[in-house]
A and B are shown apart, each in its own frame.
Chain A
Amino acid sequence: NAGVTQTPKFRVLKTGQSMTLLCAQDMNHEYMYWYRQDPGMGLRLIHYSVGEGTTAKGEVPDGYNVSRLKKQNFLLGLESAAPSQTSVYFCASSYLPVWGTQYFGPGTRLLVL
């Protein structure tokens, strides 16, 4: 099992460009999450999904959109990238809500110039 995978690993964008980050999991987990990690601020939840076809806002959702068309995939979109979105993005999944373990992907490093 690959667990949680993220594509791409690293990306450089110019301000105003758009991109989509892909998260895939092969553990048949219902719950999936997108976080951003910034120095000194830990991980902050952007959006999450409690099942195929559902999404919900987390702590810092502005400037991001998500979709969960298939159970195994959770996409994070930036429609118009801003330098403030320079960060490391982590995807996670879990079988149960957070009472259970969250399994994290390796991260995507995004630099917005």
Chain B
Amino acid sequence: AQRVTQPEKLLSVFKGAPVELKCNYSYSGSPELFWYVQYSRQRLQLLLRHISRESIKGFTADLNKGETSFHLKKPFAQEEDSAMYYCALTPAGNMLTFGGGTRLMVKP
């Protein structure tokens, strides 16, 4: 069965610093990968997905099949980026498997 691991429960950085939220997965095939975000008092929403190769709010994520990782990066963190971030994958549609989440705190 597939598994998604986010090794950091909490990541704290200063405004303007680079951010990298780690995501590792285990799946023998070629999954599709996503990052979802939940801002305070807001609903969980899609941030980006690998298939579309978009850059949303300055965030990017590169799929590294060799290391089975899909880390989320942003060169300069903003205070409004503070949120809960979830990495997720689907092997073939229908079911998303989520990681445990990482809380990002961006300090002024």
Binding site for B on A (CB under 8 A): 4, 31, 33, 35, 40-45, 48, 50, 56, 58-59, 90, 92, 97-99, 101-107
Q: Which of A99, A101, A107 contacts B32 (CB 8 A)?
A: A99
Q: Are A40 and B96 in contact (CB-based, < 8 A)?
A: no
| CB pair B95 A58 closer than 8 Å | yes
CB neighbours of B49 from chain A (8 A): 101
Number of B positions contacting A (CB below 8 A): 22
Question: In the complex, are the beta carbons of B98 and A43 less than 8 A apart?
Answer: yes
Please determine whether A97 and B94 come into contact, CB atoms closer than 8 angstroms. yes
When the two chains form their complex, are residues A101 and B46 in contact, meaning their CB atoms are under 8 A apart?
A: yes
* CB–CB B98/A98 < 8 A: no
Contacting A98 at CB < 8 Å: which of B6, B45, B94, B101? Answer: B94
- Determine the distance from Cα of A43 to Cα of B6 in the docked complex, in whole angstroms: 13
Q: Is B24 an interface residue (CB 8 A)?
A: no
Contact pick for B86, options A4, A43, A101, A103, CB 8 Å:
A43
Partner of A50, one of B6, B94, B101: B94
> Which of chain A's residues have a CB closer than 8 A to the CB of B96?
33, 43, 45, 98, 102
Q: How far is the CB of A78 from chain B (nearest CB, A)?
A: 21
Say yes or no for B44: interface residue by CB 8 A criterion. yes
Contact B90 A42 (CB under 8 A): no
Q: How far is the CA of A34 from the CA of B32 in the complex (A)?
A: 20
